[in-house]
C-alpha cells in the first residue's frame, strides 16, 4: 500500500514539475513576442547612417538572407571555398580580448548556415554575470559580397550572414538585480579558401544600440561527403 502511494505521489510530483517548466517557457516566449511587437521604428536619420556602414549594422543587409526554400542566386566563384559537404565550424568569441564563449555552426552544400552561441561570462566593472540562455541563428552564404580592407579587395573569401534571437540572463552583483535581456543576434563573417573563418557577432534590442563581439575559427570539420 505504502509503495503504491509513494509511486502515485512521485508521478504527481513529476507532472507538477513538468507543468511548472511549461508555464515558465510560456512566460519567456510571451515576453519575447511582447517585446518585439512593441519595438519602436528606426528614424530616417538613424537608418540612413546605418546603411552607410552595413558591416557594422548587418540588419540593413537582410536582403542577403534567403527565404525558406529559396535557392541561391549565385554560386561561389572558383577562387572562393567550395562547400561540397556539410561543415561543422566552432569558433571562439571575444570582446576586447576577453572570452565570451563559443559559436557552433553548420555550413551546408546549398549555402545554408545555422548555429548557436554558447556563453556564460562575467564582467568586472561593473560586476555582472551574463548567461546566454538561448541564442540561435540561421542564414546563408552570399558569394556576391566582396571582402575588402585597408589592403584592398579579396575575391577569395566567402561571406556569411545570419539572423536570430537571443535571451540572456543578466545578474548584477552590485545592485542585486536580475533581468532578462532579449533581442536580435546577427552573426556575419568570412570563410577563406583554407576554410579558416572570422567575423562578428552582434546583439541588439532595438537595432539602434548594440554590442559587437569578434569571432574566429577554433576548428572546422567536414562531417559528410
What confidence tens digit (pLDDT) does each residue in 8-62 have?
A: 555 555 655 666 666 666 555 555 554 555 555 667 766 777 888 899 999 999 9
Cβ count within 10 A of residue 131: 13
pTM score, whole prediction: 0.81
| pLDDT at residue 6 in the model | 45
The mean pLDDT value of the chain amounts to: 87
Closest to 39 in 3D by CA, of 184, 223, 199, 179 = 184
| pLDDT at residue 53 in the model | 85
| pLDDT at residue 114 in the model | 98
- Tell me which fold the domain 44-222 belongs to: Porin (2.40.160)
What confidence tens digit (pLDDT) does each residue in 155-193 have?
A: 999 999 999 999 999 999 999 999 999 999 999 999 999
What confidence tens digit (pLDDT) does each residue in 196-208 have?
A: 999 999 999 999 9
Of the candidate ranges 32-36, 134-138, 139-143, 157-161, the one whose mean pLDDT is the lowest: 32-36
* CA 203 – CA 164 distance, rounded (Å): 10
Amino acid at each position: 500500500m505504502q509503495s503504491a502511494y509513494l509511486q502515485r505521489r512521485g508521478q504527481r510530483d513529476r507532472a507538477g514539475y513538468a507543468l511548472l517548466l511549461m508555464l515558465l517557457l510560456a512566460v519567456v516566449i510571451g515576453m519575447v513576442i511582447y517585446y518585439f511587437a512593441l519595438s519602436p521604428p528606426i528614424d530616417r536619420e538613424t537608418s540612413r547612417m546605418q546603411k552607410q556602414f552595413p558591416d557594422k549594422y548587418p540588419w540593413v543587409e537582410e536582403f542577403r538572407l534567403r527565404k525558406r526554400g529559396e535557392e541561391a542566386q549565385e554560386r561561389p566563384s572558383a577562387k572562393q571555398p567550395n562547400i561540397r559537404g556539410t561543415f561543422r565550424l566552432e569558433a571562439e568569441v571575444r570582446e576586447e580580448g576577453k572570452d565570451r564563449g563559443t559559436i557552433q555552426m553548420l555550413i551546408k552544400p546549398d549555402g545554408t548556415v545555422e548555429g548557436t552561441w554558447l556563453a556564460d561570462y562575467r564582467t568586472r566593472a561593473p560586476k555582472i554575470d551574463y548567461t546566454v540562455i538561448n541564442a540561435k541563428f540561421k542564414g546563408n552564404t552570399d558569394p556576391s559580397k566582396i571582402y575588402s580592407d585597408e589592403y584592398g579587395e579579396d575575391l577569395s573569401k566567402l561571406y556569411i550572414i545570419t539572423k536570430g534571437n537571443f535571451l540572456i540572463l543578466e545578474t548584477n552583483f552590485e545592485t542585486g538585480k536580475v533581468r532578462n535581456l532579449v533581442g536580435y543576434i546577427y552573426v556575419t563573417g568570412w570563410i577563406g579558401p583554407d576554410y579558416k573563418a572570422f567575423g562578428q557577432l552582434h546583439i541588439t534590442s532595438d537595432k539602434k544600440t548594440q554590442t559587437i563581439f569578434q569571432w574566429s575559427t577554433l576548428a572546422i570539420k567536414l562531417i559528410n561527403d
